[in-house]
Structure 1
Amino acid sequence: MTASLKGTKLTAGADDKIRHVVCIPVRPGEEQAFLHTFSCVLNQNVIAAPVLVVDMTCEEDKVPGLIRSAGISSSNGHNDVFIEKVSHCKLDNELACALSIHCNGKFSAYDLLFVKPGIELPYAWDARLGKVAYSDPLVATASPMCDSSPLFSLLDSQTLPVTRQHITDDIDRTAYCLGHRVYYEIPGFFEGCFYIRADALKEINNLDELLATGKGLSGTWLAKRIRAAGRLNVICDHLYVGRLNNDSRTGTGQTDGNDLDDVEKAVADGHLLTYIRYAVGESIRKEACFSSMPGLEPKPVQLHIMHSWGGGIEKWVRDYTSAAEDSINMVLKSVGSSRVFGHKLSLFTDISDTYPVRTWDLSIPIYSSSIAHLEYQRIIQRIIREFSIDAVLVSSLVGHSLDALNTGKKTIIICHDYYPFCPAINIYSNGICRTCDEQRLNRCISENHSDLIKGNPTISDEGWMTLRDRYLQLIESQAITMIAPTDSVKRNMSALDSRFSRADFTVIPHGLSIEKRDLEPAITSKHQKMRAVVLGQLKPVKGLDLLRNSLPELCELIDIYLVGCGDAVSTFLDDDSCVRIIAEYDYGDLPRILEEISPDFGLLLSVWPETFSYTLSELMVFGIPPVVTSLGSFADRVKNGVNGFLFEPNKEALVESVQALVKKPEKLEAVRKNLSDYSHRSLREMVDDYRRLLQLGKAEAARYELCIGTDIGLTEPYIRLHKSYNKLIKAYERTYQAYDRVHQAYKQRTNGYNQLQQAFEQLQKAYTSKESNLEKARGELKKAREEIQRIHDSFYWKVGQRTQKVGRLVRGIIEKK
């Protein structure tokens, strides 16, 4: 077999560091499949390797013309494409043709990345195979997973039909996220797509002789020769390639497994990929999706630490991730109950993911927060290595350990509240806490009804003082930056503990993504009284008691609309005629709800110092004058009489403020006019501030580490477990098929029985009807007989009496004669 030495170069640019060439053979009849795969190669690679097209069509200028007419271009813009036309070869052995050109041509020093037409390639397929190929000097070939053979398949027979609507990228993303970034030895390589090192080819005996004739050179032979040379064929658990139009063959040369040899069958029966097959299959059946591929995409990876309660922290993380498109934002949530907040940890590739990518059940639960937790420490260190974490953003340590602050990575704390310094979160215990020594902390733990305190049997003033000390030590030793949404946070924390005055505080106000809209106020409409809206949940610290105590006076002045207050509030306030309640609402409906209410002003009644307040932002964006307590972020953000109104957090001050506005509505109009020019900072502006602070820079593609996962299945008991599991799966499939057949037969018999039952019921109904009619007829017949008998008896009696009289008369006459 010979090949032309002259190559047709279609695009320019080369990289001296590149060590492989991508090779695509194309045979007659494979032109469209070739174009599909060729496009994948150019657009899904991250390494600008040269592309070698082996033209086996035997038609002059066929392949170059196809490429030009298709207008295919490389997304990275610098791939060199060469076309080598084969003049004589055995057309059904494209592997031999490709190896011949590779080993005898200008690319002999390069590794070979071979891919057949019809294969669909996902993002960074080339970098992943190359990383595995060079993970160990003994590795000769690296193969992806593909559903063309039992040795390489990812999806089982039950999952495959579900994936008809899934594209290769989606399945590959799931495999990458759920895989452990490991590889396993297998007897051969996937002939549809594989990476083979140049040094391994040189170690194969008699390869040149076989290439000269092209006879006897097959993938199976090559794999055996590789093993004979002491080299390895491996498959990776974090790369999946698909097939054009889900064609199970796609010209890959693979089979359904009937012709596997004994070694291959043994591997297929107890395959080490069983765990990833099961995980991916379950995720597809649950319709789980993962938003990102940490460590693979060329983006820095940030890990958000938070609880799973929802609320303002959830909103902030969602807002941040939606605007931080140039980074990957993973989320580690603590999951628990109302008494134990850290039963387990769930890791998500993004806050929008419906299912976690990893879950850990903690053998020792975390009630509120732990000073140190060995299991948690190992988990977070594994996350950092396995998912290439660059920075840690802590939004809440509820259900977490302080080990989250000691990872060695750039760490910042976003002060959404005052936890963990304050075990009650909001520095409120029968009033705002201005100081908190051990004695006051002891009283707080005894008297405070906060969920974080009352259900925690491990909490004590001594233990929490130790936690505080460790918290502040880590902030200092790890150079952790504290993010304050407003200046009040630093002031309050420094007043509580002077050590906070030495901390590195940076003020970054939250951004907001909501369309500005000026609403028509109620006083200009036909309402009899002014309307006030109270946004958000109402709890004691949010002013529930303040509102309840003030209602008799407020109801004489205004109507009050509670929007998003929660169902529990109705038991306290529903009897008041001036109160209207919308307990829950979808955030997207807020503009419509406010427009329908058309409030004159908004009331925010928090008796604890809020750190920011999204509800205040929403009121101002909609041009609704806020009337708020003069605490925390309210006092920082509201200038009295300019963009809102401040009052002391007590009943008298609240009622007096409302009375003043009712008497002089022009004050509201002045503030409303000022708010018409109000512009809230955007999410992009907020994220840019964090970007400048973190300074993470650019990240390389495919920078993940291999073999970080501990459950890699390299031990003999694990192999046995998976073999047994695989047998159980097959037995289950057979049982399910048998059950399905029995179930179908049962359904048929049931249908027949139901039809018979219906016919029987109809006959029984007809019989009952006829029986009823017959019984009725019998009754009527009996009555008729009785009547006849009565008539009969009556007739003969009357006739008999008259006959007797006649008889006597006749006898008398006769006797006289």
Structure 2
Amino acid sequence: MPSAIYIRGACIAGLREDGALGSGNLRMKMSGLVDCIFRQGMRCVLDDATLLARPEEAIDRDASVAADVNHCGSGTASEALQVASTAPGEVRPRILYVLSTKQGGTPQTNRDLMSALGGHAECFVLHSNASSLSLAFFDGEVLVELESRTLPSPIEVLPHRSGLYDEWVMEWLLRHAIELVHVRHIAWHSLGLIDAAKMLGLPVIFSFHDFYAVCPTVKLLDENNVHCGGRCTATPGDCIPELWEPSALAPLKNASIYRWRDMFEDMLSRCDAFVTTSVRAKALLESSFPFLASRQFSIIPHGRDFAEMNCQTAALAEGEPLRLLVPGGISIAKGGKFLEELARSTRPETLEIHVLGTVAEEISLPRHVHVHGPYLREEVVSRIAAIRPHLGAVLSIWPETYCHTLTELWAAGVPVVAFDIGAVGERIEESGAGWLVPMSVEAMLDFLHRLRSQPEEWGQVNARLAAWQQLARREHTCRVMGDAYLDLYESLLPALR
């Protein structure tokens, strides 16, 4: 049973046949409602701003009903719940997470976060695909849809706004008493979402899981798949947006990108706090939006819980081909063309390449490459163990902000070779649980040839990998991640303290 009841104005309006907010009949019915609430051993909190239509229609604070009811004079849901939180028992604030896709790393990590928060908050998720939007409640196991609506006209990439979307979302924020908005990804949503939340006095946190806010290419790769670092390259071709029709933004390079950057800087400036998952990602974002350097900007790595971790990778026997495992969805951005060239430059008798995951249509791997197909994240360690790789590879050519496949390889006890770019380079450099090589097939082949003849170096890296696993069991769990986010939420939402 709840310890307090927070009454919205919409509820009070329903006590009168005409729906108006008056004082005569309303006071009598309010008194009966409050009496019923108190007989159940609960407290009642009224938010004056939502309860009253006009100041002259206010309930007299000297009236009998006012003597039994806590008022929140400043009129925000967060402050009303702070009043309620002084009662015995626990009030769980409501957090809305904003997501674009329903599949992939960000939704999975968000589910991990919601589960880790446990009894500290009630979690809701807002999805949009530009044409329709839905609101769901996380019951601890699954998302239960509460609301859904279809826009008569889809949200367009420019200006990335929809007045009707904003109206509907504001209605949902009020109806479901949301107290904090956490944007995990804003693609296909209206940027007016932030304005709607701020009009209601709600704190807004914005997370960066890629570089969509910097450029609609998302991964900051130009038309030649060269990483631009957030600054347009000098080549003549145009860049391709990842989540929108290219024609809607053409030309993007050195043209509509400037409008995009202005739109996002304006939107971000209205947010209260920011989160990303690595030092390098934060630095790149601050170089694109310098004002972020002076704002509340946290680095919270993704937590993962593994039922098991393998402690030792397979030993490489004399004359045996080196088994190299590349996990994940292999696309151009994930190094698919590099892998294609690497596979064609070696013989399977010396290098046995395995892919655990999917391969994009534009990637043509030789027939001797073993493609094992997609995997469930909860079975990834056992699937990797069945392949018995000597070495893992993360071949992303863009600066990933964290990289779950790197975590999964390490959890399976497999050291990793990668390029020194983004969070992948940062994490390998910090842990020592792998090697960083230049982004060329020749450099990779030289490294693989040298590694076969250096068992001591292999042993040192495996020892550092074992140390990472011990650290991960203590400091990189979903609970640790949840505690870090809870600290951030508490800094913005007093009712959580």
Match of 1:629 among 389, 413, 419: 419
In structure 1, give the amino acid aligned to 2:231.
C
Corresponding residue for residue 689 of structure 1: 484
In the alignment, what sits opposite 1:447? 238
Alignment-derived partner of residue 442 in structure 2: 652
- CA separation in 2, counterparts of 1:344 and 1:312? 22
- Taking a change above 3 Å as real, the CA distance of residues 329 and 527 of structure 1, as seen in their structure-2 partners, is farther
Q: Which residue of 2 aligns with 1:312?
A: 105
Equivalent pair of 2:281/2:401 in contact (CA under 8 Å)? yes
Q: Secondary structure at the match of 2:206?
A: strand
Counterparts of 1:215-254 in structure 2 under 5 Å?
A: none
Between the aligned partners of 1:298 and 1:459, the Cα distance in structure 2 is 49
Cα gap change, 1:45 to 1:627, in 2 (>3 Å): closer
Partner of 1:466: 259
Q: 1:330 aligns with which of 112, 124, 148?
A: 124
CA gap of 1:396–1:566, structure 2 versus 1, over 3 A, is same
Match of 1:540 among 317, 332, 348: 332
In 2, distance between residues paired with 1:305 and 1:317?
Answer: 10
| Offset at residue 564 of structure 1 (A) | 1.2
Deviation at 1:502, TM superposition (A): 4.3
The letter for the 1-side match of 2:229 is R
Partners of 1:435 and 1:497 within 8 A in 2: no
1:346 corresponds, among 124, 134, 139, to 134
Q: Secondary structure at the match of 2:444?
A: helix
Partner of 1:552: 344
Question: Which residue matches 2:145?
Answer: 356
Q: 1:454 to 1:371 in 2, by over 3 A?
A: closer
| Residue equivalent to 1:576 | 367
Map Cα deviations across residues 295-348 of structure 1 (whole Å, 9 max, x no partner).
Answer: x9821111111112511111111111110111112111112xxxxxx0111111
CA deviation map 1:417-474 (0-9, x unaligned): 001221110111120113435x96x96xx63344424455366545542332132133
Distance in 2 between residues matched to 1:363 and 1:316, nearest whole Å:
32
> Do the aligned partners of 1:307 and 1:397 also contact (CA within 8 Å) in 2?
yes
Name the CA distance, whole Å, in 2 between partners of 1:595 and 1:539. Answer: 24
1:258-281 Cα offsets, whole Å, 9 max, x none, are xxxxxxxxxxxxxxxxxxxxxxxx
Distance 1:639 1:346 in 2: 41
Aligned equivalents of 1:559 and 1:519: distance in 2? 22
Alignment-mate amino acid for residue 354 of structure 2: Y
Report 1 or 2 for greater relative contact order, CA contacts < 8 Å, sequence distance ≥ 6. Answer: 2
CA distance in 1, matches of 2:430, 2:162: 48
1:605 Cα offset (Å): 0.2
Say if 1:416 and 1:323 are closer, same or farther in 2 by CA, change over 3 A: same
Secondary structure in structure 1 of the residue aligned to 2:306: coil
SS at match of 2:461: helix
Match of 1:698 in 2: 495
Number of the residue aligned with 2:154: 365
- Which residue of the partner structure matches residue 173 of structure 2? 384
Q: Would the aligned equivalents of 1:520 and 1:598 in 2 still touch at CA under 8 Å?
A: no
1:528 shift after superposition: 2.3
Deviation, structure 1 residue 371? 4.1
- Cα pair distance change 1:527/1:366, threshold 3 Å: farther
2:69: which partner in 1?
none
Contact 1:394 1:414 in 2 (8 A): yes
Change (3 A) 1:377 1:641: closer
CA 355–299 in structure 1, closer or farther in 2 if over 3 Å, else same: closer
Q: Distance in 2 between matches of 1:641 and 1:499?
A: 31
Counterpart of 1:540 in 2: which secondary structure? coil
1:612 alignment partner AA: Y
1:694 CA displacement:
2.0
Measure, in 1, the Cα distance between the counterparts of 2:217 and 2:420. Answer: 21
Secondary structure at the counterpart of residue 398 of structure 1:
coil
Q: Distance in 2 between matches of 1:329 and 1:554?
A: 50
Matched residue of 1:471: which SS?
helix
CA–CA distance in structure 2, aligned partners of residues 318 and 452 of structure 1: 22
For residues 76-123 of structure 1, what are the alpha-carbon distances to aligned partners after superposition, in whole Å with 9 as ceiling and x for unaligned? xxxxxxxxxxxxxxxxxxxxxxxxxxxxxxxxxxxxxxxxxxxxxxxx
Seen in structure 2, the aligned counterparts of structure 1 residues 667 and 576 have a Cα distance that, compared at 3 Å, is farther
SS at match of 1:433: coil
Q: How does 1:389-428 map to 2 (within 5 A)?
A: 389-406=178-195, 407-408=197-198, 409-428=202-221
Matched-pair contact (CA < 8 Å) for 1:410–1:694: no
TM-score by length of 1: 0.47
| Deviation string, structure 1 residues 689-732 (Cα, Å, up to 9, x no partner) | 111122124369xxxxxxxxxxxxxxxxxxxxxxxxxxxxxxxx
**8 A contact 1:517–1:623 mirrored in 2:** yes
CA drift at 1:520: 4.4
| One-letter amino acid matched to 1:382 | E
Unaligned regions of 5+ residues in structure 2, if any? 34-63, 66-88
2:322 maps to what in 1?
530
2:481 and 2:372 map into 1 onto residues whose CA distance is 31
User: 1:400 aligns to what SS in structure 2?
Assistant: coil
> Post-superposition shift, 1:516?
4.3
Residues 726-757 of structure 1: CA distance to partner in whole angstroms, max 9, x if unpaired? Answer: xxxxxxxxxxxxxxxxxxxxxxxxxxxxxxxx
In the alignment, what sits opposite 1:155? none
* Of 328, 351, 356, the match for 1:563: 356
**CA distance in 1: counterparts of 2:156 and 2:142, whole angstroms:** 26
1:615 to 382, 405, 424: 405
| Superposition deviation, residue 652 in structure 1 | 1.6
What letter is aligned with 1:448?
C
Q: Which amino acid aligns with 2:481?
A: M
Is 1:521 matched up with 2:478?
Answer: no
CA distance in 2 between counterparts of 1:607 and 1:412 reads: 29
User: Using a 3 Å threshold, how does the CA distance of structure 1 residues 616 and 641 change in structure 2: closer, same or farther?
Assistant: closer
1:561–1:361 distance in 2 versus 1, CA, 3 Å: same
CA distance, structure 1, for counterparts of residue 305 and residue 275 of structure 2: 20
Q: Distance in 2 between matches of 1:451 and 1:561?
A: 27
TM-score, normalization by structure 2: 0.75
- Is the CA contact (8 Å cut-off) linking 1:45 and 1:125 kept in structure 2? no
Is contact 1:518-1:676 (8 Å) kept? no
State the AA in 2 paired with 1:46.
Answer: S
CA contact (8 A) 2:220 2:230 kept: no
Q: In the alignment, which residue of structure 2 is the partner of 1:46?
A: 3
User: Which deviations, in whole Å up to 9, do the C-alpha atoms of 1:41-99 show, x marking residues without a partner?
Assistant: xxx4636xxxxxxxxxxxxxxxxxxxxxxxxxxxxxxxxxxxxxxxxxxxxxxxxxxxx
Counterparts of 2:181 and 2:431 in 1: how far apart (Å)?
41
In the alignment, the residues of structure 2 paired with residue 633 and residue 674 of structure 1 have an alpha-carbon distance, to the nearest angstrom, of: 18
Larger Rg: 1
C-alpha deviation, 1:496, in angstroms = 3.9
Distance 1:471 1:45, change over 3 A: closer
Measure the CA separation in 2 of the matches of 1:357 and 1:301.
14
Contact 1:640 1:646 in 2 (8 A): no
Report if the CA contact (8 A) 1:377-1:404 is conserved. yes
Q: Which amino acid is 1:399 matched to?
A: W
Shift in CA distance, 302/363, structure 1 to aligned 2, threshold 3 Å: same
Q: Secondary structure at the match of 1:509?
A: coil
Q: Which amino acid aligns with 1:486?
A: S
Q: 1:459 to 1:565 in 2, by over 3 A?
A: same
| Equivalent position amino acid for 1:623 in 2 | G
State how many pairs are aligned.
Answer: 418
Written as runs of structure 1 = structure 2, the 5 A alignment for 1:86-235 is 136-137=26-27, 139=29
In structure 1, give the amino acid aligned to 2:444.
Answer: L
